[in-house]
Homo-oligomer: A and B are copies of this chain.
């Protein structure tokens, strides 16, 4: 209980350190990410796969309105886990940066540059008072100079580049699965299957409608959603689905 009181003393003010040098508000924002359903990113030899679990509370909800994956520019997409409304703010910020880059230099923004624009924005909300940190983690993927790049932006505003990664609920188990199964030589199709299998580790069954998968490849650098029919075929092939679809 002493420990509890100690902790309480430092985690209420957004912009202050605890005696052991931690920023509790940022750590709690990470908890907010854990409360969200998982999102997976895979970098293949050919491109990037972003896959998000989009289970729904009710059969009457339109699955497509569960916004977990957004396109930023033609060639870059962002998948999120955690607060959907927070993610939208960051995606809007990313889109504006991409447009400014396009207008100023006549070039598409690089994936790494975009990621750092976003993480610098996130960091401000962890240091300056008057607002809480963003309760969301992003996976930012796309093609840059003919190479697929996949980044994570966490609530502290730190950028990381990954070969394959998961954020959100159950990410520990999914990351373990990815570490075991990932192979940098995977093609795009294999990458999509890996992403589906990874998401399936946290669920009893996977319905084609219950996931949103997007893809961008070096050959076709246009970030786009993978058709439900295609997902359905993979799910069947991998034996991830349950008996009765809705």
Contacts and interface: CB of A to CB of B under 8 A. Distances in A.
A168 B126 CA distance: 21
A13 B7 CA distance: 15
Interface residues of A, number: 78
B14 A12 contact: no
Give how many copies assemble into the complex.
Answer: 7
A85 B33 contact: no
Contact of A158 (B85, B116, B128): B85
A193 interface: no
Interface of A: 1-2, 4, 6-25, 28-35, 58-62, 64-67, 83-86, 88-89, 92, 116, 119-120, 122-123, 125-135, 151, 156-165, 175, 178-179, 182
Interface centre among A116, A135, A164 (most CB of B within 10 A): A135
Contacts of A23: 32, 83, 132, 135
A21 B33 contact: yes
Contacts of A58: 162, 165, 175, 179
A116 B61 CA distance: 17
